[in-house]
Amino acid sequence: MFAELIGGEWHCPDLPGHGPDPQLDCTPVATVEFLERELATIYSPLPTPKNILLGYSLGARAALQHAVAYPEVWDALILISPNPGIEDPAERAARRSADEVLAQRIERHGALAFIEFWKETPMIRSQKNIYPEVRARMAATRQAHTTEGLAASLRQFGQGTCPNLWPELNRLNMPLLIISGEKDHKYTQIAKRMAPPRRTPNSPLHTHAVINSVGHMPHLEAPDATAEVIHQFLNTNL
């Protein structure tokens, strides 16, 4: 949906735990290996002129995992509503416990019932402002998710399980654009912290863009404004 607005050729795989036939090994290591296999399929034998990695929320978590592990692969990195990880071990343990409760809820009530519950959580509720036709396509995609896949993703790739990547951000030697929604206060503060001023004139540009009047999913709540920010970033840096 959003890829059409940006233009160019984009490959949008279902991450482990998602889609009608999910890979149930959703650990960070397995997810990076999954992206490696996807890359081998897409870019072999001929590389594209520019390799740009874009991820949203869970996808931003996966993109950040790969970019930190293999920074030389990417010419630019775009993260929408990312979180590099929970720094405090006690908070991370509490989040693992909360994610386990949600995983058990999925297993008791099924994927579709969980999706209906998830849509009403405060962070996700702003997605009701997305155009109806886009919401319909989103709903069709989400209905393909499985109970086993979503539960595995929560347990193995939730915020409480993923490593804290804050100390690794200095490995990102490519231009980085971080996008957040104005109404998503938590992730806007995280994004500000992820995009400090340039250390030297030759340091890669790490920039933060706030999309006005939207929440956690700016690329679908305000697709034109978000696409324009991405176009400006790519035109400036590539």
Dig out the tokens for 82 from the structure. Answer: 């990312």
Least confident of 120-124, 154-158, 173-177, 181-185: 120-124
Give the orientation angle of helix 147-157 with respect to helix 58-69, to 10 degrees: 50
Dig out the tokens for 94 from the structure. Answer: 């509490």
DSSP state of 15: P
Average pLDDT over residues 4-15: 88
Average pLDDT over residues 3-27: 91
86-116 pLDDT, tens digit per residue, is: 999 999 999 999 999 999 999 999 999 999 9
Least confident of 48-52, 125-129, 208-212: 48-52
The domain limits of the chain are: 2-6+14-237
- Contacts with 134 (C-beta within 8 Å, 6 or more apart), sequence order: 1, 220, 223
DSSP conformation letters of 176-237: EEEEEETT-HHHHHHHHHHSPPPSSTTSPPEEEEEETT--S-HHHHSHHHHHHHHHHHHHHH
98, with CB counted inside 10 A (0-12, 13-18, 19+), is middle
CATH T-level fold of 2-6+14-237: Rossmann fold (3.40.50)
Dig out the tokens for 39 from the structure. Answer: 């890359």
Nearest to 208 by CA among 184, 229, 237: 229
User: Starting from the edge strand earliest in sequence, which strands make up the sheet with 52-56, in order?
Assistant: 52-56, 76-80, 176-181, 206-211
Dig out the tokens for 89 from the structure. Answer: 């071990």
Q: What number of H helices and E strands is found in the chain?
A: 10, 4
Q: How far apart are CA 192 and CA 158, in angstroms?
A: 22
Q: How far apart are CA 197 and CA 86, in angstroms?
A: 23
Dig out the tokens for 159 from the structure. Answer: 């915020």
pLDDT above 90 covers a percentage of the chain that reads 71
Average pLDDT over residues 213-220: 95
Average pLDDT over residues 30-37: 94
Residue 206 has pLDDT above 90, yes or no: no
39 pLDDT band (50/70/90 cuts)? confident
Backbone angles phi, psi at 209, to 5 degrees: -120, 130
Q: Given this model, what pLDDT does residue 81 score? A: 98
Average pLDDT over residues 39-50: 67
